Amino acid sequence: GMKEKISEAVPHTKRVADDVVVALDLSNGTTLWKSSLPGAPSGRSSSSTPCVRDGKLYTVGSNRIFRVDLTKGKIDWDTPLELEGVAGSVLVHGDLVVALVGNLRAYHRDSGKLAWTNNQVSGKSASPTLWKTPQKEFIACNGGKEVFLIDPKDGSTFWKGPGGGSSTPVCRDDWMLVHGKDEKAGLIAYRWKDSALTEAWRFPKLTRRSDSSPLIHEGHAYLIGAGMRACLELETGKVIRKEMAKHDISSPVMIGKKILAYEISGNFLEIIETDPEKFGEVAKFKIGALRCTSPTPVGSRLLIRKVDRIVCYGLAREKP
């Protein structure tokens, strides 16, 4: 029939996608260079944040990890991955580039060749981070159901404990804060003491959402996510203030003594007071940011990722 003839005449479509890195001039937004590699159409789950170190940019694409020279956008190396849709970001530490790409892996910075793999840490949404304890350096990373401390030298597991999920642990001096996937775990504070890690306290939560990363500031812990904003004493876990709010996937950032966070799927940008006595929203702006992103402060500017563009705002100086 006519339908069959039409369908035969129309060529079959194939979904294609490129892994693209674009460099913009911060002062005016003009494009300096653009680099691309043939990729895989992996959707919005491919949302790794690039890491810049010593004139090089490292990032995970749809099905690869690669390095780009910042001068003209030349691709230095490109290492394929066996999976697609990595949302976690890379950590550059010493001569290694570390990423959670199905499991935790470290690649040599200069060549992109695999240095080590840790199969205990699984996932593709969490980002590894560095923790410099008073005695030793670790890579801290959430896995599926636990949080891990990994020796950067060989990738061996030093310790694991309750946590897990897609948020990034926050490490400061002898403290590590983990926003765990399980509601019973919630926000967990671990403390490094006498070359060992102990759980100091935990703050259970009401929702399984565990994407946003916590903050540590001046002796207090902050959780802006999981449908709430909360301020707790870091030493004891005592709740100073907690209120319901529609913060979910995005992580907050700090500028000075204020927290900036998205609310209601990135539609609004909130400025939150960190002073425990005044903790709460002090200003709110309709911003229309892309849902899973976070605001990025750069000096006196604030970069916002939208669905089809990047917008740069000037920040007013805080009054003394």
The pTM score is 0.90
Q: Note the pLDDT tens digit of each residue in 139-191.
A: 999 999 999 999 999 999 999 999 999 999 999 999 999 998 877 788 999 99
Q: Note the pLDDT tens digit of each residue in 237-289.
A: 999 999 988 887 889 999 999 999 999 989 999 999 999 999 999 999 999 99
Share of the chain above pLDDT 90, in %: 71
How many angstroms separate the CA atoms of 194 and 271, rounded? Answer: 38
Share of the chain above pLDDT 70, in %: 91
Residue 299: predicted pLDDT: 92
Residue listed under structure tokens 């805080």? 318
All structural domains of the chain: 1-125 (2.40.128.630)
Q: Is the pLDDT of residue 44 over 70?
A: no
Q: Note the pLDDT tens digit of each residue in 55-69.
A: 999 999 989 999 999
